[in-house]
């Protein structure tokens, strides 16, 4: 399993330089990023495979969140499955926790027979690595973290399986992963076919909170005609900074020294500006809504004021 994880990470590194979008995407509001070549990343966040201390630092690179796209396409959207892995027999496998208590890859050949037939059970007793809950009023539901299923509950009906739950942001859960889970679930329900599906949490070094997840899927009976993707979704929450080592978090303050242009949502009626993730920005009357990419100071010069909730 460790070998496979290293392979995945290496592949992730290599393909970032080569990738281009290809296959069908869920109708997410966010489009697949246009310029994936730019996903060539600083090596600061070097990946290492969980439990393999020799990997240490610098064996791979993890894509960096650009502030807008909840995921990037990896390997030209081609999963890293070997041909022999595709099977029309349903199965599901979960990794044991590593010595740091972290999850590894979870894989399933998802068929209708694995899908839920009963009510959802409680998962509250599971405490994933890096679980330090915090609340922010601009996060949907308030809580920063969800016990985030690697393989979504709607696919394999796993409740309190510690090998399938990571500390994931609300943003990862809803914006990053859910559209892809829905794609798989809808396809399996409609066709009765199988989808080979694997989700791998990517940790940097010995950090307890995953930086993101690699999600791979390929429909079995039609060899990827129906569903195929290979993406990396970011475990981030816009407006919040996370210490991935421990899971602690704090409000991101726009660094006053930083004059990098950033995407803001203006309310031309109230004169406030917001982060794109702010609930007020999401719910804003389109007639008053304006997107700008500008340095923060230029908005202040234009007499816009920062929203008190998202504190852009």
Q: Which of 106, 148, 165, 278 binds Zn ion (CB under 5 A)?
A: 278
- Is residue 265 close enough to count as binding Zn ion by CB under 5 A? no
The smaller minimum CB distance to Zn ion, of residues 294 and 309, is found at: 309
**Measured from the CB atom, is 149 or 272 closer to Zn ion?**
272
Please select the residue that binds Zn ion; options are 90, 174, 280, 295, rule is CB under 5 A: 280
Site residues for Zn ion, 175-214, by CB under 5 A, read none
Compare residues 23 and 309 and give the one whose CB is closer to Zn ion: 309
Report how far apart the first and last C-alpha atoms of the chain are (Å, whole number). Answer: 42
What tokens appear for 266 in the block?
Answer: 């203006």
Interface stretch with Zn ion, choices 99-107, 200-208, 246-254, 269-277 (CB under 5 A): 269-277
Phi, psi torsion values for 123, nearest 5 degrees: -120, 10
CA–CA distances in Å: residue 11 to residues 8, 70, 161, 195, 233? 5, 20, 28, 21, 16
Please identify which residue in 16, 177, 185, 307 interacts with Zn ion, judged by CB under 5 A: 307
Six token digits for residue 130 = 């890096």
Residue 78: C-alpha distances to residues 75, 134, 175, 224, 232 (Å): 6, 36, 21, 9, 12
Choices 140-148, 153-161, 176-184, 273-281 (CB under 5 A): range interacting with Zn ion:
273-281
Per CB under 5 A, does 310 bind Zn ion?
yes
**Whose Cβ is closer to Zn ion: residue 224's or residue 312's?**
312
- Residue 144 Cβ, how far from Zn ion at the closest point, in Å? 16
List, in sequence order, the alpha helices (H) in 57-114: none
Give residues with Cβ within 8 angstroms of 39, minimum separation 6: 16, 19, 33, 63, 64, 72
Helix (H, G, I), strand (E, B) or coil at 243: coil
- Interface stretch with Zn ion, choices 109-117, 139-147, 209-217, 301-309 (CB under 5 A): 301-309
Cα torsion angle, 155, 157, 160, 161, sign? negative
270 interacts with Zn ion by CB under 5 A:
no
C-alpha 111/C-alpha 50 separation (Å) is: 29
Give me the 121-150 binding string for Zn ion, x by CB under 5 A, dash otherwise: ------------------------------
The stretch near Zn ion (CB under 5 A) out of 12-20, 55-63, 92-100, 277-285 is 277-285
Binding footprint of Zn ion, residue count (CB under 5 A): 6
Binding site for Zn ion (CB under 5 A): 274, 278, 280, 307, 309-310
């Amino acid at each position: 399993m460790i070998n496979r994880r290293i392979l995945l990470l290496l592949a992730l590194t290599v393909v970032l330089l080569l990738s281009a979008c290809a296959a069908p995407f869920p109708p997410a509001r966010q489009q697949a990023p246009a310029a994936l070549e730019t996903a060539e990343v600083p090596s600061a966040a070097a990946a290492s495979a969980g439990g393999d201390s020799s990997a240490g630092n610098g064996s791979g690179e993890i894509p960096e969140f650009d502030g807008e796209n909840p995921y990037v396409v990896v390997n030209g959207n081609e999963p890293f499955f070997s041909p022999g892995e595709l099977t029309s027999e349903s199965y599901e496998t979960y990794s044991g926790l590593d010595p740091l208590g972290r999850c590894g890859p979870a894989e399933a050949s998802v068929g209708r027979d694995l899908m839920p037939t009963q009510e959802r059970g409680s998962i509250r007793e599971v405490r994933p690595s890096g679980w330090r809950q915090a609340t922010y009023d601009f996060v949907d539901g308030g809580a920063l973290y969800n016990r985030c299923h690697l393989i979504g509950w709607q696919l394999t009906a796993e409740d309190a399986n510690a090998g399938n739950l990571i500390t994931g942001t609300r943003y990862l859960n809803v914006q990053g992963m859910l559209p892809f889970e829905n794609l798989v679930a809808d396809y399996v329900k409609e066709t009765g076919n199988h989808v080979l599906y694997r989700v791998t949490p990517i940790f940097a070094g010995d950090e307890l909170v995953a930086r993101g997840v690699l999600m791979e899927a390929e429909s079995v009976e039609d060899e990827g005609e129906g569903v195929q993707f290979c993406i990396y979704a970011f475990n981030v929450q816009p407006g919040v900074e996370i210490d991935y080592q421990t899971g602690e978090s704090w409000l991101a303050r726009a660094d006053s020294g930083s004059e990098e242009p950033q995407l803001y949502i203006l309310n031309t009626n109230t004169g406030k500006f917001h982060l794109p993730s702010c609930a007020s920005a999401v719910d804003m009357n389109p007639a008053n809504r304006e997107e700008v990419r500008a340095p923060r100071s230029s908005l202040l010069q234009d007499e816009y004021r920062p929203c008190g909730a998202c504190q852009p």
